[in-house]
C-alpha cells in the first residue's frame, strides 16, 4: 500500500511478548515470574530481554543484569532467548494485522503502527486486539493518537491488554506534569541534560526557549525535542519493507579479556560474523564500527569509513583492527562489538557512493 497519512494512528504493542510466547509453549508457567535472557544461565554475564508482569512486580526490568534479576526473584523461571520461536510468533501477529485491510508499519518483533480513517478508533482498536488474540492467543495493548508520537506513548497507558487515546485534545492534561523521560525518544541522559536547564516536565519542554535547546542539542535535535514536548510528529504510516543499514555482532565475555592477543582474536571472529551477515545480503560494506566496554562498565565506540565500499572480509577485518589500535592499553575488556554498515540497495551511503571493490 505504501506510505499514507491517516486521521488516526494506532500503535499495537504485544504485552510481555517473549514471556507470553514462552507461557503459551509451557502453560504451567502461567501466573509465575518468568525471566527471559541470554542462554538462561544467571551465572553468565547477560541481561534480561523481557520479564513477565509477575517478575516485574519485584522490580525486574529489561536490560537488567540477569544475575541481579534472579536475586530479586529467586523463585523465577529463567529461560533462554529463542529467536526462532519469537520470529514465528511475530510473523503470525503481523499477518493478522495485515488482514485488517489497512497499512501496517512493522517496528519490531512485538510492535507496529496501523492507520485508520474512521470515526470510532476505539472500536477498531478492539478489533485489532481480537484479531491478534484469535490468531495467536497473545494479548496486545493499543495506543490511539493523531500522531505517531502520541500513539506510541498512549500504549503505555493502556497496558496490559487495554486501549488508550492520546491526542492534541488531552496531551497537556495527561503528559504535561510528567517527567521528560516519559517521552518516546528521551532517555535518562537527555532528561538530565534538560534538567540542567530547569526543564523537568513535558510541559516545561513544550514551552522551552528553542535557542536554549538548540544550544544544548544542536539545530536539528534541539527543535525536535521541543516539538516532542508538544506531541507533534508524523501521522504517516508506511509499510515499505525495512532495509537494514548494517549488521552488528557483539559478545560479553564471561571473563574479561586482558591481553591484546585476546582482543584481536575476538575482533577477528566478530568481524567475520558481521561480514557473513552482510555477505548474505550481497551488499558491500562502506563503514565499520567498534564498540568496547571496559571493566567495570565504561563504554566507548569508534567508527571509520572505508576508502571504498568492499565485499572483502580481509578489508573489513583490517579496518576493525585499525580501529582497535585506538583502544586504551592495559584496560580489561568485558564486551566487544563490531558493526558493518552497508551500501543501500539504491547505492546510497551516508558519505556518498563509490565503485565497489571485488572479493579477495
pLDDT of residue 350: 53
pLDDT of residue 42: 92
**CA-angle at 326, arms to 320 and 331, nearest 5°:** 110
- Closest Cα partner for 168 from 154, 179, 187, 182? 154
pLDDT of residue 349: 64
State pLDDT tens for residues 320-345.
999 999 999 999 999 999 999 999 88
The mean of the pLDDT values for the chain is: 94
111 is catalytic: yes
CA–CA separation, 21 vs 324, rounded Å? 40
State pLDDT tens for residues 56-102.
999 999 999 999 999 999 999 999 999 999 999 999 999 999 999 99
Q: What number is the average pLDDT over the span 104-128?
A: 97
Task: List the 111-116 sheet strands across, edge first.
Answer: 104-108, 111-116, 8-14, 140-145, 163-166
- Asked if pLDDT for residue 354 goes beyond 60, the answer is no
Supply 297's cell numbers. 562498565
Rounded to two decimals, the pTM is 0.81
Confidence of residue 305 (pLDDT cuts 50, 70, 90): very high
SS3 of 79-128: ECCCHHHHHHHHHHHHHHHHCCCCCEEEEECCEEEEEECCCCHHHHHHHH
State pLDDT tens for residues 235-269.
999 998 878 899 999 999 999 999 999 999 999 99
Q: Phi/psi class of residue 40: alpha, beta or left (left: φ > 0; alpha: ψ in -120 to 50)?
A: left
What domains are there in the chain, each with its CATH number?
Answer: 1-167 (3.30.70.270), 171-231 (1.10.150.20), 246-342 (3.30.1490.100)
pLDDT of residue 352: 41
pLDDT of residue 358: 40
Q: What separation in angstroms does the CA of 208 have from each of 106, 202, 204, 213, 250?
A: 33, 10, 6, 8, 39
Q: Are 255 and 332 in contact (CB under 8 A)?
A: no
pLDDT of residue 2: 81
Q: Catalytic: which of 111, 279, 315, 341?
A: 111
- Asked if pLDDT for residue 351 goes beyond 80, the answer is no
pLDDT of residue 327: 94
pLDDT of residue 356: 40
Amino acid at each position: 500500500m505504501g506510505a499514507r497519512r491517516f486521521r488516526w494512528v494506532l500503535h499495537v504493542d504485544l504485552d510481555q511478548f517473549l514471556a507470553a510466547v514462552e507461557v503459551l509453549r509451557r502453560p504451567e508457567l502461567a501466573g509465575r515470574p518468568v525471566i527471559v535472557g541470554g542462554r538462561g544461565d544467571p551465572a553468565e554475564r547477560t541481561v534480561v530481554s523481557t520479564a513477565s508482569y509477575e517478575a516485574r512486580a519485584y522490580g525486574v526490568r529489561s536490560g537488567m543484569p540477569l544475575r541481579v534479576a534472579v536475586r530479586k526473584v529467586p523463585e523465577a523461571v529463567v529461560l533462554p532467548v529463542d529467536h526462532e520461536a519469537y520470529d514465528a510468533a511475530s510473523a503470525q501477529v503481523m499477518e493478522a494485522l495485515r488482514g485488517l485491510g489497512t497499512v501496517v508499519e512493522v517496528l519490531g518483533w512485538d510492535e507496529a503502527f496501523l492507520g485508520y480513517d474512521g470515526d470510532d478508533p476505539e472500536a477498531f482498536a478492539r478489533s485489532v486486539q481480537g484479531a491478534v488474540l484469535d490468531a495467536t492467543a497473545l494479548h496486545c495493548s493499543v495506543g490511539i493518537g493523531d500522531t505517531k508520537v502520541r500513539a506510541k506513548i498512549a500504549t503505555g497507558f493502556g497496558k496490559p491488554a487495554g486501549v488508550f487515546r492520546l491526542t492534541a485534545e488531552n496531551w497537556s492534561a495527561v503528559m504535561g506534569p510528567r517527567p521528560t523521560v516519559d517521552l518516546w525518544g528521551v532517555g535518562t541522559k537527555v532528561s538530565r541534560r534538560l534538567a540542567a536547564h530547569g526543564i523537568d516536565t513535558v510541559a516545561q519542554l513544550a514551552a522551552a526557549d528553542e535557542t536554549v535547546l538548540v544550544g544544548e542539542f544542536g539545530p536539528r535535535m534541539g527543535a525536535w525535542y521541543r516539538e516532542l514536548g508538544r506531541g507533534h510528529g508524523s501521522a504517516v504510516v508506511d509499510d515499505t519493507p525495512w532495509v537494514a543499514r548494517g549488521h552488528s555482532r557483539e559478545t560479553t565475555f564471561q571473563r574479561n579479556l586482558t591481553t591484546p592477543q585476546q582482543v584481536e582474536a575476538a575482533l577477528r571472529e566478530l568481524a567475520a560474523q558481521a561480514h557473513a551477515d552482510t555477505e548474505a545480503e550481497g551488499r558491500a560494506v562502506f563503514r565499520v564500527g567498534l564498540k568496547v566496554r571496559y571493566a567495570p562498565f565504561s563504554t566507548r565506540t569508534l567508527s571509520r569509513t572505508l576508502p571504498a565500499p568492499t565485499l572483502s572480509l580481509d578489508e573489513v577485518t583490517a579496518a576493525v583492527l585499525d580501529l582497535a589500535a585506538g583502544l586504551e592499553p592495559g584496560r580489561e575488556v568485558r564486551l566487544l562489538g563490531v558493526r558493518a554498515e552497508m551500501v543501500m540497495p539504491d547505492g546510497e551511503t551516508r558519505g556518498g557512493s563509490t565503485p565497489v571493490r571485488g572479493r579477495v
